[in-house]
Chain A
């Protein structure tokens, strides 16, 4: 089985704070990590390889420093890594990102493509299904369990809002995975050594038979108009006085609103 895992390097949003005065993100000292859901995708790929044989290739599109994420994936056990990087790809939205990744994956060959459910910086969850559409293969999103992997089919549990569906697909297929699927392994010492020495393959715009109108800003139908802090300031009615008075006025308010 040839397995391709799409991973993204993201700022650790748990560490991101807002500066309340300037309303901007404080990103000082915010570490870059592999998108947490993608760690589960890597783990799933390694487990499939362990049971069915084959090769795990990790791929990322991003700035040159995203190479660190690829090396971390190798330290977990991935065999091969590709960095898709070019200034032509700057400003890509999900459409252009998925297009570019699909053009790169096309060159690699695959039976199964794995993505995280979503990336924690944008939380869009769109890149995976879009890649599948561009490659004209089926996809199953929100996979929480892989039941059976046959030679030409796969059966998985797909998480839904009200439970789960048992879904079967022909191969090749793209899966996006949720955290329930597995527990990602930690890099081994040997893995870390391998990661240091590993050669990271690079692809630029020229290596893909891609249309320049479909990549980067030009290829992105959506534009960010502005960003702002989420606080919608309103003026609350503070209830004053002694404990009894505060509670009394609250009950009064609720009565006028016919909530009591």
Chain B
């Protein structure tokens, strides 16, 4: 809703001017003035000490879409590469299960290409049913046939929520689907909740390079669509006994003006290691040099884990980029994350804060890393880590 200023209450203090992330408020004749480019993010509402900023009340019923009630159910698009369902699809079934249970509706997975065995796996991970198409045009990811079939299925079955991974695949074809259906799509979400009052999907995501978080709504159109960042959502427990309907979706009018000539796999062992590791020992600028990673490697080796890093350490050239955790690196979710000599900038935190246990070792007690840590040790990492290594070795004997 647009923000309006009660001019009589405005004292011209300028707090709102500073609060606007879009530079849309200025002071004119000592009164705040909101420009026409207001993005309605409401960031200014809470900063005004006088309560001079309010949301403009929506005109009643004007945008009510009587069609909304006809949309029911939660869908997860289960992407596959070379026939194998991606990790992120299993995570999304975990997230989708929670949403579906809250709304008391069905959870369906949508699988293009691949085979029936993989479809059954999706049920065992928590889907109630699977819409599966094995049209050969869908074996390799291709935007046009993927979006055509998705649009077709959504029009036919009318789900209220559609989720896909925020991967090269999901982020490429889902915008076409949202464009065609005239509905909202929120990119790269890190949390999803249901608004208890309205039943709307609250889509939470970082913006401005991770500097702020935003909650996005799609209140007046359906389905509500989101891509979700890999490694953020928790999987459900696997139940080999679980059964559900696998529905074959016939559709032959798929066309494509693009053709995939070749797919080249470049995953290094390491990438898989970092994202699959149960224990990650990360270091930052506090290591002071590339040698610091040697003791981190030793600790990681003892615990059967691997080594990560902050961007600062990568920028310094102490360790290659593929180790970087965070907004512009990898998102990880290990059982234990050690942050050694890492200050805890928001861009780093978004990549690791859903780890089960975070152990922070930093010599500055004021470091923000301690705000997210499960256990904090204030001290010099060059004293703490070697001692820890010694004690773990002893404990293991």
Asked if A230 is at the interface of the complex by the 8 Å CB criterion, the answer is yes
Q: Which residue of chain A is the closest to B79 with respect to CB atoms?
A: A161
Q: How far is the CB of A256 from chain B (nearest CB, A)?
A: 11
Q: Interface size bucket, A side? A: 35 or more
Q: Could you say which residues of chain B place their CB within 8 Å of the CB of A173?
A: 257-258
Known: A239-B375, A246-B379. A142 touches B172 (CB 8 A): yes
- Stretch from A20-28, A69-77, A184-192, A197-205 contacting the other chain: A20-28
State whether the Cβ of A140 lies closer than 8 Å to any Cβ in chain B.
yes
Chain B residue contacts of A251, Cβ below 8 A? 388, 391-392, 395
Any B CB within 8 A of the CB of A225: yes
Q: A233 vs B265: C-alpha distance in the bound complex, in angstroms?
A: 40
How far apart are the CA atoms of A257 and B336 in the complex, in Å? 11
Pick from B106-114, B120-128, B131-139, B213-221 the stretch touching chain A.
Answer: B213-221
Segment 33-54 of A: residues with Cβ below 8 Å from B: none
B293 on interface, CB distance cutoff 8 Å: no
Q: B261 — nearest CB in chain A belongs to which residue? A: A166
**Scoring B residues 244 to 263 as 1 if CB is less than 8 Å from chain A, else 0, what string do you get?**
00000000000011111111
Chain B CB within 8 A of A182 CB = no
The reply on A4 being an interface residue by CB < 8 A is no
B18 to A26, Cβ gap below 8 A? yes
Q: Roughly how many angstroms separate A112 CA and B2 CA in the complex, as a whole number? A: 37
A183 on interface, CB distance cutoff 8 Å: no
Over the window 262-274 of chain B, the binary record of Cβ atoms lying under 8 Å from chain A Cβ atoms (1 yes, 0 no) is 1111110000000
Residue interface mask B370-395, A partner, CB < 8 A = 1: 11111111110001100110011001
Report the minimal beta-carbon distance from B264 to chain A, rounded to whole angstroms: 5
Given the interface pairs A13-B211, A231-B368, A239-B376, the reply to whether A134 lies near B18 with Cβ below 8 Å is no
Q: Is there contact, CB below 8 Å, between A90 and B36?
A: yes
Residues of A within 8 A of B141 (CB): 160, 165
Residue B47 is within 8 A (CB to CB) of chain A in the complex: yes
- Chain A residue numbers with a CB within 8 Å of B35 are 63
A87 to B392, CA, bound (A): 64
In the A-B complex, the 5 residue pairs with the smallest Cβ-Cβ separation, listed nearest first, are A13-B209, A221-B184, A222-B184, A163-B266, A133-B179
Q: Is A93 an interface residue (CB 8 A)?
A: yes
Interface check A123, CB cutoff 8 A: yes
Inside 8 A of A243's CB, which chain B residues have their CB? 379, 383-384, 387
A223 vs B200: C-alpha distance when bound (angstroms)? 12
Set A18, A128, A134, A141: member contacting B346, Cβ < 8 A: A18
Q: A24-B47, A236-B371 are in contact. Are A223 and B168 (CB under 8 A)?
A: no
Q: Determine whether B233 belongs to the interface, using a CB cutoff of 8 Å to chain A.
A: no
Q: B residues within 8 A CB of A14?
A: 209
- Looking at the assembled complex, report how far the CB atom of B209 sits from the nearest CB atom of chain A, in whole angstroms: 3
Contacts of A124 in B (CB 8 A): 187-188
Neighbour of B221 across the interface among A63, A91, A221, CB < 8 A: A221
Q: What does the 1/0 interface line of A145-181 toward B look like (CB < 8 Å)?
A: 0000000000100111111111111100100000000
| One of A27, A141, A220, A231 near B21 (C-beta < 8 A) | A27
Residues A22 and B168 in contact, CB atoms below 8 Å apart: no
Query: Is A100 an interface position by the 8 A CB rule?
Result: no
A-B CB contact pairs (8 Å), 18 listed: A18-B212, A24-B19, A24-B47, A25-B208, A28-B18, A90-B36, A94-B187, A95-B184, A124-B187, A133-B175, A160-B169, A166-B262, A169-B259, A223-B219, A224-B216, A225-B215, A227-B214, A257-B357
- Assess whether A236 is in contact with B360, with CB atoms less than 8 Å apart: yes
Q: Which of B175, B178, B260, B350 has the most CB of A within 10 A?
A: B175
Residues of B within 8 A of A227 (CB): 21, 41-43, 207, 212-215
Tell me if A129 and B375 are in contact (CB < 8 A): no
Q: Are B384 and A226 in contact (CB under 8 A)?
A: no
B368 CB contacts on chain A under 8 angstroms? 231
Bound complex: CA A217 to CA B220 (Å): 12
Residues on B with beta carbons closer than 8 Å to the beta carbon of A170: 257-258
Is the Cβ of B183 less than 8 Å from the Cβ of A221?
A: yes
Interchain CA distance A243-B179 in the complex, whole Å:
58
Contact A167 B258 (CB under 8 A): yes
CB-CB nearest in chain A for B81: A162
Judged by a CB distance under 8 angstroms, whether B185 is at the interface is yes
Contact across chains for A236 and B265 when beta carbons are under 8 A apart: no
Does A56 reach chain B (CB closer than 8 Å)? no
Q: Mark A3-32, 1 if CB is under 8 A from B, else 0.
A: 000000001011011110010111110000
Given the interface pairs A91-B40, A94-B175, the reply to whether A239 lies near B377 with Cβ below 8 Å is yes
For A217, give its contact among B2, B21, B42 (CB under 8 Å).
Answer: B2
Q: Which residues of B contact A121 (CB under 8 A)?
A: 207-208
Tell me if A237 and B375 are in contact (CB < 8 A): yes
Determine whether the beta carbon of A222 is less than 8 Å from that of B263. Answer: no
Tell me the bound Cα distance from A99 to B384 in angstroms: 57
- B282 interface hit (Cβ, 8 Å): no
Q: Known pairs A160-B168, A163-B266, A247-B384; list 12 more (Cβ under 8 Å).
A: A28-B18, A98-B175, A99-B179, A123-B207, A160-B141, A168-B261, A227-B41, A230-B349, A236-B371, A236-B373, A236-B374, A239-B376
Residues of A within 8 A of B378 (CB): 238
**How many Å lie between the Cα of A204 and that of B9 in the bound state?**
35
**Distance in Å from the Cβ of A243 to the closest Cβ of chain B?**
6
B242 within 8 A of A: no
Q: At the interface, yes or no: B39 with Cβ under 8 Å from chain A?
A: yes
Q: Is A193 in contact with chain B by the CB < 8 A criterion?
A: no
CB-CB < 8 A to A236: which residues of B?
360, 370-376
The smallest C-beta distance from B120 to any residue of chain A, in angstroms, reads: 24
Chain B, 175-200, contact with A by CB distance < 8 Å: what is the 0/1 string? 11011101111111000000000000
Across the interface, name the chain B residue whose C-beta is closest to A92.
Answer: B39
Please, how many angstroms separate the alpha-carbon atoms of A18 and B202 in the complex? Answer: 23
A250 touches B388 (CB 8 A): yes
